[in-house]
């Protein structure tokens, strides 16, 4: 490798642009996040382990509040939820968007006001609905025609429940085909183009137990451009105007969902939040004025963009080998704690931490310990050529959809979550142990 190439590789290793803002370089190749050494966290809590920077989470919440001062901002709990996360969202003035009775109960039992929670789901179970009504959830999103009668019956003749109708606006956006939800042909919502959404509103108006509070749409995930959101908002306002003209009601709320894209590797694009807020505000005012419609209260539901960049996953290297022309670095985690590369082809930028290396970089694929050829955490990345068993690898942007999507594959147990803040590390979610796994298996 030439001197220029070596310098470029060293610069790449030194790029902390996708790491939490609190990340600092330490001596001998170490890094600290939230004032705590990652090496010390690995030694204290073992690996794999998720590290979550509380300060980064709170700072991102405040960025949203500043960008959308007149809107309701709800945290999408599916990205990551714990009792501490519930408390942080409460203290930062966020609402919550949940998708199950489990997420809802955890939030409410952690002290979150149920009226500030919205329940989603394309196939809500009887338990989901019963729990939402028992706890007094603020809004329930209607996702299919069959939910209308079921929900009205569950509410009962003397009850009243605010609902939103999830609309598919016909806008394609998202970082992968499996996370594009704004067009027809997928499981979510009611189509704007075939009249399903308007028909659902008419049916809801025939149920006195249900109060139509507004419309909802979510066009996809990992969206890095503002334009699709503006197009979706314009269509949603048009539908609100048609509902007014057809039924004589003005819906007071418009929830534009989330899906705000973030950078997983240096140089990747991320959604410009300031531009998004400005364009949505302008389009909402102009579209409502053109339609002679009262401006509804706007709501958004970020998840990944709040917690994703605040997380770091730590792994210990177990094996290094060359197979043909490919080098593999195997670690003590894998698709059981991060299935996203296997599901969506997400690419991460792992980094050697805890020791310095002057060895030239070489291309390697970081793989997990599981019995699947697709158990890949990071394909074709640059790592020092002397990486060996016992080394510590850190993967930034690991706060969203890691623990929440973790599985029990190979019965290895799910990793713990450790919060760091102002020089202190504390356990939020403990490691799942073999004893936990044995206790669940009661067969003889």
Q: Do domains 3-53+309-440 and 54-307 have the same CATH topology?
A: no
pLDDT at site 2: 42
Is residue 61 annotated as part of the catalytic site, yes or no? no
- Angle at 104 (CA atoms; ends 103, 107), nearest 5 degrees: 85
- Dihedral angle at the C-alpha atoms of 102, 104, 109, 115, nearest 10 degrees? -170
Q: What DSSP designation does 394 have?
A: E
Asked whether residue 372 is marked as a ligand-binding residue, the answer is: yes
- Angle at 80 (CA atoms; ends 85, 185), nearest 5 degrees: 140
Helices and strands: H and E segment counts in the chain: 13, 21
Domain spanning 3-53+309-440: which CATH class is it, in words? mainly beta
Asked whether residue 65 is marked as a ligand-binding residue, the answer is: no
pLDDT at site 224: 94
Transcribe 29-77 into DSSP letters: G-EEETTEEHHHHHHHH-SSEEEEEHHHHHHHHHHHHHH-TTSEEEEEG
Asked whether residue 48 is marked as a ligand-binding residue, the answer is: no
Joined together, the tokens standing for residue 71 give 């809107």
- Long-range contact set of residues 32-36: C-beta below 8 Å, sequence gap at least 24: 33/312, 33/420, 34/419, 34/420, 34/421, 34/422, 34/423, 34/424, 34/425, 35/420, 35/421, 35/422, 35/423, 35/424, 36/420, 36/423, 36/424, 36/425
Q: What DSSP designation does 193 have?
A: T
Transcribe 311-379 into DSSP letters: EEEEEEEEEEEEETTEEEEEES--TTT--HHHHH------EEESS---SPEEEEEEE-SSS-TT-EEEE
In degrees and rounded to multiples of 5, residue 23 shows phi and psi of: -65, 130
pLDDT at site 324: 85
Total length of the chain: 444
Q: Of residues 61, 99, 288, 371, which has the active-site annotation?
A: 371
Can you name the CATH fold of 54-307? TIM Barrel (3.20.20)
Asked whether residue 43 is marked as a ligand-binding residue, the answer is: no
Ranges assigned E (strand) in 89-207: 95-98, 117-119, 139-142, 161-168, 190-191
Helical pair 101-109 and 126-135, crossing angle rounded to 10 deg: 20
Joined together, the tokens standing for residue 282 give 């302008």
Asked whether residue 58 is marked as a ligand-binding residue, the answer is: no
Count Cβ atoms within 10 A of the Cβ of residue 441 and give its class: 0-12 exposed, 13-18 middle, 19 or more buried: exposed
**315 close to 332: Cβ distance less than 8 angstroms:** yes
Instruction: Per-residue pLDDT tens, the chain, 444 aa: give them.
Output: 344 444 444 445 679 999 999 999 999 999 999 999 999 999 999 999 999 999 999 999 999 999 999 999 999 999 999 999 999 999 999 999 999 999 999 999 999 999 999 999 999 999 999 999 999 999 999 999 999 999 999 999 999 999 999 999 988 665 445 444 445 666 678 988 888 999 999 999 999 999 999 999 999 889 999 999 999 999 999 999 999 999 999 999 999 999 999 999 999 999 999 999 999 999 999 999 999 999 999 999 999 999 999 999 999 999 999 988 889 999 999 999 999 999 888 999 999 999 999 999 999 999 999 999 899 999 999 999 999 999 999 999 999 999 999 999 999 999 999 999 999 999 999 999 999 999 999 987
Asked whether residue 304 is marked as a ligand-binding residue, the answer is: yes
**383 close to 300: Cβ distance less than 8 angstroms:** no
Region for residue 53 given its phi and psi (left: phi exceeds 0; alpha: psi -120 to 50; beta: otherwise): beta
**394 close to 38: Cβ distance less than 8 angstroms:** yes
pLDDT at site 184: 61
pLDDT at site 443: 86
Asked whether residue 160 is marked as a ligand-binding residue, the answer is: no
Asked whether residue 103 is marked as a ligand-binding residue, the answer is: no
- Dihedral angle at the C-alpha atoms of 176, 20, 37, 46, nearest 10 degrees? -30
Helices (H), 68-181: 83-91, 101-109, 126-135, 145-155
Question: Nearest Cα to 121, choosing from 191, 185, 217, 188?
Answer: 188
- Dihedral angle at the C-alpha atoms of 272, 276, 278, 281, nearest 10 degrees? -170
pLDDT at site 185: 62
Give the full edge-to-edge strand order of the sheet including 24-25: 24-25, 31-33, 36-37
Domain edges within the chain: 3-53+309-440, 54-307
Count Cβ atoms within 10 A of the Cβ of residue 292 and give its class: 0-12 exposed, 13-18 middle, 19 or more buried: exposed
Joined together, the tokens standing for residue 37 give 């050494």
Asked whether residue 350 is marked as a ligand-binding residue, the answer is: no
Question: Nearest Cα to 306, choosing from 258, 344, 257?
Answer: 258
d(CA 225, CA 182): 14
């Amino acid at each position: 490798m030439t001197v220029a190439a070596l310098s470029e590789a060293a610069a790449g290793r030194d790029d902390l642009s996708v790491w939490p803002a609190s990340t600092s370089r330490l001596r001998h190749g170490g890094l600290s996040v939230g004032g705590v050494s990652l090496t010390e966290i690995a030694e204290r809590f073992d690996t794999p382990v998720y590290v979550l920077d509380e300060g980064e989470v709170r700072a991102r919440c405040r960025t949203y509040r500043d960008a959308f001062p007149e809107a309701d901002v709800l945290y999408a709990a599916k990205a990551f939820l714990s009792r501490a996360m519930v408390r942080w969202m409460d203290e930062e003035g966020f609402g919550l968007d949940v998708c199950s009775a489990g997420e809802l109960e955890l939030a409410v039992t952690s002290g979150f006001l149920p009226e500030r929670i919205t329940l989603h789901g394309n196939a809500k179970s009887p338990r989901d609905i019963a729990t939402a009504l028992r706890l007094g959830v603020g809004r329930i999103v209607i996702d299919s025609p069959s939910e209308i009668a079921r929900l009205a019956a569950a509410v009962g003749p003397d009850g009243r429940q605010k609902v939103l109708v999830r609309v598919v606006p016909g806008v394609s956006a998202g970082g992968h085909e499996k996370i594009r939800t704004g067009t027809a042909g997928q499981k979510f919502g009611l189509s704007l183009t075939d009249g399903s959404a308007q028909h659902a509103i008419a049916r809801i108006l025939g149920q006195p137990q249900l109060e139509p509070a507004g419309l909802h749409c979510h066009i996809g995930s990992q969206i890095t451009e503002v334009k699709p959101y503006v197009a979706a908002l314009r269509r949603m306002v048009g539908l609100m105007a048609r509902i007014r003209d057809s039924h004589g009601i003005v819906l007071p709320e418009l929830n534009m969902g989330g899906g705000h894209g973030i950078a997983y590797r240096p140089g990747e694009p991320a959604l410009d939040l300031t531009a998004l807020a400005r364009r949505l505000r302008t389009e909402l005012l102009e579209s409502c004025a053109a339609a002679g419609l009262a401006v509804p209260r706007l709501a958004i539901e970020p998840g990944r963009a709040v917690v994703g960049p605040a997380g770091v996953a730590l792994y210990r290297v177990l094996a290094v080998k060359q197979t043909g022309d490919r080098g593999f670095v195997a670690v003590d985690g894998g698709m059981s704690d991060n299935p996203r590369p296997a599901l969506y082809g997400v690419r991460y930028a792992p980094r050697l931490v805890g020791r310095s290396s002057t060895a030239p970089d070489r291309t390697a694929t970081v793989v997990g310990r599981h019995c699947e050829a697709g158990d890949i955490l990071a394909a074709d990345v640059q790592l020092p050529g002397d990486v060996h068993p016992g080394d510590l690898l850190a993967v930034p942007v690991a706060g969203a959809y890691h623990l929440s999507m973790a599985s029990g594959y190979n019965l290895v147990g799910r990793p713990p979550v450790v919060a760091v803040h102002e020089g202190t590390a504390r356990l939020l979610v403990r490691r799942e142990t073999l004893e936990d796994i044995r206790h669940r298996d009661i067969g003889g």
